[in-house]
Structure 1
Amino acid sequence: MLGALGLEDTHEAAYRALVSVGAADVPELARRLARGERDTEGALRRLEQHGLAARSSARPGRWVAAPPGVALGALLTRQRHELEKAELAAALLAEEYRATAAEPAVHDLVEVVTGGAAVAQRFLQLRLGAHDEVCALVTGDPVVVTGVGNGAEEQAADRSVRYRVVVERSVLDQPSGITELTAALGRDEQVRVVDRVPAKLVVADRSLALVPLASHSSEPAALVVHAGGLLELLSGLFESVWRDALPLRLGASGVTEQGPREPDGTDLEILSLLLAGLTDASVAKQLDLGLRTVQRRVKHLMELAGVTTRLQLGWHAYERDWVAREP
């Protein structure tokens, strides 16, 4: 628990034991810790360096614990200061990187990463570095990386990062497939399914993408794609697959597919009035509906169309003949 302050488990155990007894000599503390006296004395000296323990002036040979509120508070303050300096350094480096990457050379737009450990590390960095959204296409043949469930999503959820994932139907047949998808849906990730996805792909914030390469050799590889035309193409590919995929829902019977549903009559009336230029409040008044009901139905229509803005919803409404093209 105190590892974040630079203490190893053995040092933390020694400090906790010393706090519980108030004062102790090395042999007594060694018995409590079930460790050798030499290791115990080394741990006490380490605690002394951190200001967490000191030799008793009243009783030679015994050690006393420093008050946790004071000693640990000082360590926390120092750690916060170090973190603030690290954050400032990271911000300065990011600004320098943006300045030098404003007009990157063509050969800098794509990196080739080789080796399973290197690919997995870049994949983790990409997801943990996302601020807004992570989009993923997941095939039924995972090599190094998967689209759901290895801890990064939980940390992303804590930072309110949105996840949209499209999986191949064969993922549902894998032993751990349902378990991982259930966990993903439980984190309020949006998951959809198609028969096949064109390629494994992860896109973070529309600014960075990772494309694992199908390799016949024993060494996995991946492309890391930076901002540019290729990244826009990959983002468009994801949106195209997402639009045609079927949503997965988590119910009492487990993970199930939700088939396509056409808007009902009320949905179509709401769409027509919105396209006519009415506000949500005006639409609600015209149709004798609650404002929240109108907004909830519009949100559902956007999910049904696979879009993120109302402008896109209007375009899809015409494309799918949800509203008449002629008055």
Structure 2
Amino acid sequence: MAGKEVRYRNGGDNSVLKMILIEQWGYCCYVCGRPKDYTDTQIDHLIPQSVSSAELKDARAQYSLTSSFDLHGPENLAPICSNCNRTKSNQTFQGAGFMLLSLSKAAKLRPRVISAYKKFGSGTRLSNQLLRSIEADLTQREAREAFEMHAPAIVQKLALLDEDKADYVTYRQVILDDMHPDDLPDIFIPDVVLSLRTRGRTAMSILQDVCGCQLTDLLEPRVHDLIELLQDRVRQEFESITEPSRTNASPAEMFHLRVTIETIDYHRHASVLEFTFQGSFDAYLVASLVQDALDGDGIQDRQGEAAVAGTFSFTADWPISAEQGALDISDCTIEDWVSHRDVT
């Protein structure tokens, strides 16, 4: 495997590349963000491989791509589930901003994809055997029975090397019942999920069983808080535009928000249990803009679209002497922020 160029091959064997892309993108579909099995995942070209030379030239300019950009390279590839691959053209939040965010992430992951791909060949026989187990279709009864019988031995062997490596992620979607249409556009439904490892699941159990906190009661105000932060920050970014003229922006309307709680940690400080939540988000927002007319006479109406992504955190404190459910929850804090804007 070492020495081979790392890229997608039409009509060729892309199984190793697919496995590594899935690993590097967090075992999730890049569109819907949900964990997917290898057998329900495909390799997607962010910029379609069917584009003409003229269209590719336009895309290079639109997305500020380098001259070395390869349509079939890791910088243009991502794992996508079968359902999203069928319906992605109908997703309202997939515009230039979403494409920019996806291309930016793919470019960031490119060196890691290439490194993992080349390392795969260093243990050829074992690597290929493990790949075959990942490729197994567990809807087949015989394959599932064999996997359930022998996979625990592999997990145990991994734990003997390093018990942290035997950890795993579970996925759970959270339905926030109080997100009413009065609060948000009818077409907008926040997608909130927990994607937790062992310590996070333990923290969640303590919150529910010891502190008496209902998950939805804790998350609903924080998601509202995050929405307001994103709307305000996007409005400020649009109003920072001064070319070709000063810009006034309406409150940004949100059409897509995916929130993933990725870690929940807990510590005891004297008589207080402190829980720290950390997660990621990606969102698509639209705002009405008003700018001075280019001829200096009057104003012109424009529309701004923003695709944003980043990380956030908040804390929840429970005094051990307090009643169950009586938590002191902090506001959300945005830690990392990436945005791409388009004005039409």
TM-score normalised to the size of structure 2? Answer: 0.20
Greater strand content: 2
- With a CA cutoff of 8 Å and minimum separation of 6, indicate the structure with the bigger relative contact order: 2
Determine which structure has more spread, i.e. the larger CA radius of gyration: 1
TM-score normalised to the size of structure 1? Answer: 0.21
Greater helix content: 1
